[in-house]
Amino acid sequence: MKKYLVSNCYVVLLFLVLIIISFTLKLTSDKEDKYMLVTIQEGDTLWSISESYKTEHSLSNEKFVNKVSKINNVNPHNLQVGQQISIPVIKSTDGVKLAKEE
């Protein structure tokens, strides 16, 4: 009887570990960056775009500019009107939100 209880304990423990791993993988995959295209308008800078979306993300303006510059391989001081750039976004249950700080 004692051996039966011990083996059942291992089964339950294994089941709990699998649930925790599954939950962790789900949370990790939800944080994966997605991208949204933005067309540069007259007077736009990466800094001003970051400011425009300030309530939608938790990146500092500096980190936003660095991330967008790197993703698009652009000089943040040399943007052209009409140029399209990708901005990192994370999908959420209430729509699209910009990426959070890593």
Q: What is the mean pLDDT of the chain?
A: 79
Indicate whether 1 and 37 sit together in one domain.
no
Residues 11 and 61 in one domain: no
Percent of the chain surpassing pLDDT 90? 34
Q: What range defines the domain where residue 20 resides?
A: 1-30
Q: What is the pLDDT of residue 41?
A: 95
Beta bridge partners of 87: 36
Sheet holding 34-39, edge to edge: 34-39, 84-92, 95-98
Query: Can you spell out the DSSP letters for 4-17?
Result: HHHHHHHHHHHHHH
CA angle 28, 67, 102 (to 5 degrees): 30
| pLDDT over 60 (residue 95) | no
Query: Residues 37, 22: one domain?
Result: no
Query: What's the predicted TM-score (pTM) here?
Result: 0.58
On the CB side of 33, how many CA atoms lie within 13 Å of its CA? 14
Res. 32 pLDDT band, cuts 50 70 90 = low
For 40-70, how does the pLDDT look when each residue is reduced to its tens digit (9 = 90+)? 999 999 999 988 877 666 688 999 999 999 9
**Overall domain count for the chain:** 2
